[in-house]
């Protein structure tokens, strides 16, 4: 009785517009956190994986490498998933190609 009928009819429409805007502003921090997370963590990790994959694909016979287990040696044979690594004169071990962490400069392993 205190509210005019014109105001009462427009009140739900105004509340719906405000509610839509309110939900968008409440979602904004979540979206912003995801964007920051992508640029700080996900994107650099994907770049690192891509570089590691290209290093693994570029391995050649005679390269000197370091593995994740700490072995240093010279690549003697390559296959799709594995490679033979000469860690000492006459001692060869077979390791996964993905275990290679770093390709060393020539002459590092003696």
| Domain ranges across the chain | 1-58, 61-104
Is pTM, for the whole model, over 0.75? Answer: no
Mean pLDDT of 67-71: 94
- At residue 12, the pLDDT reads 56
- At residue 2, the pLDDT reads 62
Phi, psi of 57 (to 5 degrees): -70, -25
- At residue 9, the pLDDT reads 57
The secondary structure of residue 101, as a DSSP letter, is E
Q: What is the mean pLDDT of the chain?
A: 86
CATH number of this structure's domain 61-104: 2.30.30
Please name the residues in contact with 88: beta carbons below 8 A apart, sequence gap of 6 or more.
73
If pLDDT is split at 50, 70 and 90, which confidence band does 25 have? confident
CA pair distance 76, 84, nearest whole angstrom: 5
Higher pLDDT, residue 83 or 6: 83
């Amino acid at each position: 009785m205190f509210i005019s009928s014109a105001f009462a009819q427009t009140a739900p429409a105004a509340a719906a517009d405000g509610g839509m805007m309110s939900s968008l502003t409440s979602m904004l921090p979540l979206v912003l956190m995801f964007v920051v997370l992508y640029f700080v963590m996900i994107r650099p990790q994907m770049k690192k994986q891509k570089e590691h994959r290209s290093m693994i694909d570029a391995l050649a016979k005679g390269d000197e490498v370091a593995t994740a287990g700490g072995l240093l040696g010279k690549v003697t044979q390559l296959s799709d998933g594995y490679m033979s690594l000469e860690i000492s004169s006459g001692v060869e071990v077979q390791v996964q190609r993905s275990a290679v962490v770093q390709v060393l400069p020539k002459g590092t392993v003696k």
